[in-house]
Amino acid sequence: KVVTGKILWRRSLQLRDQQQAWQESCEGREMLEFRRSLPAYKEKDAVLAAISQNQVVIISGETGCGKTTQIPQFILESEVESVRGGACSIICTQPRRISAMSVSERVASERGETLGESVGYKVRLEGVKGRDTHLLFCTTGILLRRLLVDRNLKGVTHVIVDEIHERGMNEDFLLIVLKELLPRRPELRLILMSATLDAELFASYFGKAQIIHIPGFTYPVRTHFLEDILEMSGYMLTPYNQIDDYGQEKMWKMSKQAPRKRKSQIASVVEDALKAADLKDYSHQTQESLSYWNPDCIGFNFIEYILYNICEKERPGAILVFMTGWDDISSLKDKLQAHPILGDPSRVLLLACHGSMASSEQRLIFDQPEDGVRKIVLATNIAETSITINDVVFVLDCGKAKETSYDALNNTPCLLPSWISKVSAQQRRGRAGRVQPGECYHLYPRCVHDAFAEYQLPEILRTPLQSLCLQIKSLKLGSISEFLSKALQSPELLAVQNAIEYLKIIGALDENEMLTVLGRHLTMLPVEPKLGKMLLLGAILNCLDPILTVVSGLSVRDPFLTPFDKKDLAEAAKSQFSRDYSDHLALVRAFERWKVAEKVYAGYDYCWKNFLSVQSMKAIDSLRKEFFSLLKDAGLVDANTIDHNIWSYDEHLIRAVICYGLYPGISSIVHNEKSFSLKTMEDGQVLLYSNSVNAREAKIPFPWLVFNEKIKVNSVFLRDSTAVSDSVLLLFGGSLSRGDTDGHLKMLGGYLEFFMKPAVADMYECLRSELDDLIQS
Ligand code: ADP
Ligand code: MG
């Protein structure tokens, strides 16, 4: 102990000297000056005092005031100075991998270090951490995973949970776990950081916590709503009747204010603006109103018009455009690139900012463009709080964000653009006033804004809870519903019941809600339960290679690209990989051919020709390796033999493994004269996504489709499906003995009668239970 203590002490002295030298250097001095200018720096002493006196401290302060980059450093610096020496271990969680990576890099550079010295990061698949790393930025998921094997977070001195105002599911879950952990680890410090003024909510959750508010400074931002923007361009938007009720349809009258303006020039723009406002969709609180959404209504012409006007007439300063989602960003980017001014790289630096962007792309966003070049960033709501772009002066806000929601009644996840909350709108506005007075253009009328909800619904209330429930069980946190009742806001009972029921159907929990052997294995794999099941069975049945590809493919962004204007070509390109009525097998084939092309340095070419994403292919490649080593560590495959692949070419078997994972995601195929339709038990008629290989088939010589995901967007759509036979479904899908006969298997109709003949049923049951035993053991 004495020796280690000495070593630590010596290292912390080195660390201190190194910092001193850096701060005396020219660059270091400049950086220190910048840090001192941040509002958070002025609260340094207050923050440190609060942390030494309280186990839980909540820090709120506007985005950009220096919470994420400074607070962890204050703690690190004060610990290095203290008697403990460098023995501290600070973990700071971020909701997204991109922020964990970019923030750690920023903090390291503020300290004049490279990553892996005192500062490191860890996200799934990637990480940099060294012997002397005391401050680790990681995703919330990584910390939860660590809690699995290290319930008391041994050795950790500080946990900082960042961006808690986002109310992500993982963060809400982590807070319950930490709340229970705190009494067991009295010396552990918990610091929560929020960009909005909801600190009281968290303080009352923890009972005793000190709140520190960092007063921010932002320049005033002039706000324009749709009617103001139209007025500026010579039009006026006036409502006929005031809205007094959510359901009421709103009538708008547009009158010309300045008849001198050339109408033809801006008529289409104004029309577009009205479409952007799409007022039918106004009452965002109800599910029905959401289904009015028409993605074409985003009003691209209008956005282009405003951007062009800013570029031509306004003072210098970057423009940040908040868009609904990735698809909108890429189509708008294509459109702007074709514009004579906005698409001219010597005048405009056009960038996109979204969650799945590569780190090299990411850095461009922070760069200052050359003089005379205007930076335009098209972003998702990721730029609202977690990423700060320094030089923004103009903000365009389309008012919507893609949000997952969960319809517990139909047990269906939905991904729909929905109106943002007032808090989000304020955040977006605030982004404009960071360096000088700014302007914000909201592309919707003021009365729509007035009807926004105050806050967004926390994720735990709007997503399926299967993985969460499994995690609760694996952390031995007792009864699922009892545990979830301790959340900041508890999910609906029905949503919890659905999740538990699902876990029972797939065999991860037994009748008494206890984790089965299968369930325990599933918690070891950082993927959704259905993908974990495929990996396990693929390993057991020795057809692992294609299954690794399927599972990796389903964990990354769809590798099959469908560009806006080349949809047909892209879908045709995908269908050449299909022979057997399966999107999953099409992916396997596409990936295998890519591997071959890659060997001769033709990987890019191959992807380009076949509308495949190079990034996704590479991500699949590395995920495959990660999943393989996970299975190896779990003792499920032996890396020294190739046994696990002897059946990899048997497509029937692969289909069966896919069915095993995806069940109960299943629809029946109803054949009619010329085509077929699909039906699921819960939704009735469903449709296929147009880029599914099965959508191009006239007939499918199988009675069932198992699917990876169904999403409600107007109708219910199935994404990624594989056709399977009756016997595969009976063996690898539902079990006759588990009472599922009332459910899916009833859909087998007359066929079921055959299977229910005692001898046949016995045979199947026998096979089935042998399979079950094999898996559960
Ligand atoms: P908060 O967490 O309170 O939103 P941050 O600590 O992330 O604020 O950022 C504080 C300031 O540091 C920002 O206002 C910005 O000026 C600067 N900053 C943060 N990240 C970077 C970066 N990657 N490059 C340059 N400046 C950055
Ligand atoms: Mg932050």
Query: Tens digits of per-residue pLDDT, 632-676?
Result: 877 788 877 777 888 888 888 999 999 999 988 888 888 888 889
DSSP state of 733: S
Give residue 102's pLDDT: 87
Segment among 29-33, 57-61, 231-235, 716-720 with least mean pLDDT: 231-235
Report whether residue 366 contacts ligand 1, using a CB cutoff of 6 Å: yes
Q: Please, which residues have CB within 8 angstroms of residue 42's CB and are 6 or more apart in sequence?
A: 214
Q: What is the model's pLDDT at position 728?
A: 85
Segment (H or E) for 678? strand 676-680
Distance 46 CA to ligand 1 centre (A): 20
pLDDT top residue among 677 and 270: 677
d(CA 547, CA 537): 9
Mapped onto helix, strand or coil, the DSSP state of residue 25 is coil
- Asked whether 383 lines ligand 1 (CB < 6 A), one says no
pLDDT of residue 404: 66
Cα(392) to ligand 1 centroid in Å equals 13
Q: Which residue has the higher pLDDT, 729 or 194?
A: 194
User: For residue range 539-548, what is the model confidence (pLDDT) as tens digits?
Assistant: 988 899 999 9
Ligand closest to 69 (CA) is 1
Say what the pLDDT of residue 248 is.
34
Going by pLDDT thresholds of 50, 70 and 90, the confidence category of residue 586 is very high
Task: Quote the pTM value.
Answer: 0.76
Alpha-carbon dihedral of residues 503, 506, 507, 510, nearest 10 degrees? 40
* Better-predicted residue by pLDDT, 636 or 51: 51
Q: Which amino acid is at 719?
A: R
Chain segment 477-535, per-residue pLDDT in tens: 889 999 999 999 999 899 899 899 989 888 889 889 999 888 888 887 777 889 899 99
User: For 348-369, what is each residue's pLDDT tens digit?
Assistant: 999 988 766 666 667 788 888 8
Q: Which ligand is nearest to the CA of 214?
A: 1
Looking at residue 257, its pLDDT comes to 43
* Segment 70-90, tens digit of pLDDT: 999 999 999 888 866 667 899
The answer on pLDDT for 233 being more than 70 is no
Residue of 41, 69, 111, 385 best suited for mutating to test ligand 1, as the one with most atoms within 8 Å of CB = 69
In this predicted structure, the answer to whether residue 344 has a pLDDT above a threshold of 80 is yes
Rounded Cα gap, residues 199 and 513, in angstroms? 35
How high is the pLDDT of residue 497? 92
Decide if pLDDT at 172 tops 80.
yes
Shortest-distance atom of ligand 1 to CA 62: 3
702 versus 243: which is more confidently predicted? 702
Asked whether the predicted pLDDT for residue 289 surpasses 60, the reply is no
Question: Is the minimum distance from the CB of 63 to ligand 1 under 6 angstroms?
Answer: yes
CA of 427 to the centre of ligand 1 (A): 15
User: What does the mean pLDDT of the chain come to?
Assistant: 82
Centroid of ligand 2 to alpha carbon of 163 (angstroms): 6
The fraction of the chain above a pLDDT of 90, given in percent, is 35
Q: How far is the CA of 672 from the centre of ligand 1 (A)?
A: 60
Q: How many C-beta atoms lie closer than 10 Å to residue 155's C-beta?
A: 9
- Report which bound ligand comes closest to the CA of 161: 2
Q: Which of 202-216, 269-283, 542-556 has the lowest mean pLDDT?
A: 269-283
Does ligand 1 lie within 6 Å of residue 102's CB atom?
yes
The SS3 of residue 284 is coil
3-state SS class at 293: coil
217 Cβ closer than 6 Å to some ligand 1 atom = no
Q: How many Å from the N-terminal Cα to the C-terminal Cα in the chain?
A: 43
Ligand nearest to the backbone CA of 74:
1
Q: How many CB atoms lie within 10 A of CB 264?
A: 7
Is pLDDT at 297 greater than 80 in this prediction? Answer: no
Place 1 in a pLDDT band, splitting at 50, 70 and 90: low
pLDDT (average), residues 123-145: 90
pLDDT score, position 535? 93
Report d(CA 278, CA 244) in Å as an integer: 18
Task: Please name the residue whose Cα sits nearest to atom 13 of ligand 1.
Answer: 64
Look at ligand 1, atom 23, and give the residue with the nearest C-alpha.
106
What pLDDT sits at residue 396? 95
**Ligand that comes closest to the CA of residue 95:** 2
The pLDDT assigned to 97 comes to 82
Pocket flag, ligand 1, residue 386 (CB < 6 Å): no
Share of the chain above pLDDT 70, in %: 83
Output the CA 66–ligand 1 centroid distance in Å. Answer: 6
Q: Which atom of ligand 1 is nearest to the CA of 385?
A: 4
- Residue 583 pLDDT class (50, 70, 90 cuts): very high
What's the longest Cα–Cα distance across the chain?
87
Ligand 1 atom nearest to 162, measured from its CA: 2
Residue showing tokens 């460098």: 86
Q: How high is the pLDDT of residue 274? A: 53
* Nearest ligand to the C-alpha atom of residue 107: 1
Q: Is any atom of ligand 1 closer than 6 Å to the C-beta of 71? A: no
Give distance in angstroms: CA of 67 to centre of ligand 1. Answer: 8
95 or 250, which is more confident: 95
Cα 205 to Cα 99: distance, rounded to the nearest angstrom = 26
What is the amino acid identity at position 292?
Answer: Y
39 lines ligand 1 (CB under 6 A): no
- Most informative mutation of 388, 391, 431, 436 for ligand 1 (most atoms within 8 A of CB): 388
Ligand 1 mean position to 453 CA, how many Å?
A: 28
Q: Which residue has the higher pLDDT, 46 or 3?
A: 46
* pLDDT tens-place string over residues 416-455: 677 888 889 998 998 998 888 999 999 887 777 877 888 8
Q: What is the mean pLDDT of residues 95-117?
A: 91
Q: Is the pLDDT of residue 251 over 50?
A: no
Q: Strand, coil or helix: what is 504?
A: helix
The minimum-distance atom of ligand 1 relative to the CA of 193 is 2
The answer to whether the CB of 67 is under 6 A from ligand 1 is yes
Give the position, in ligand 1's atom list, of the atom nearest the Cα of 102: 23
Least confident residue range of 45-59, 130-144, 683-697: 683-697
Q: Which ligand is nearest to the CA of 106?
A: 1
Q: Is the CB of 106 under 6 A from ligand 1?
A: yes
Confidence bin at 46 (pLDDT 50/70/90): very high
384 Cα–ligand 1 center, Å: 13
Any atom of ligand 1 within 6 Å of the Cβ of 388: yes
User: Is the model's pLDDT at 255 over the cut of 80?
Assistant: no
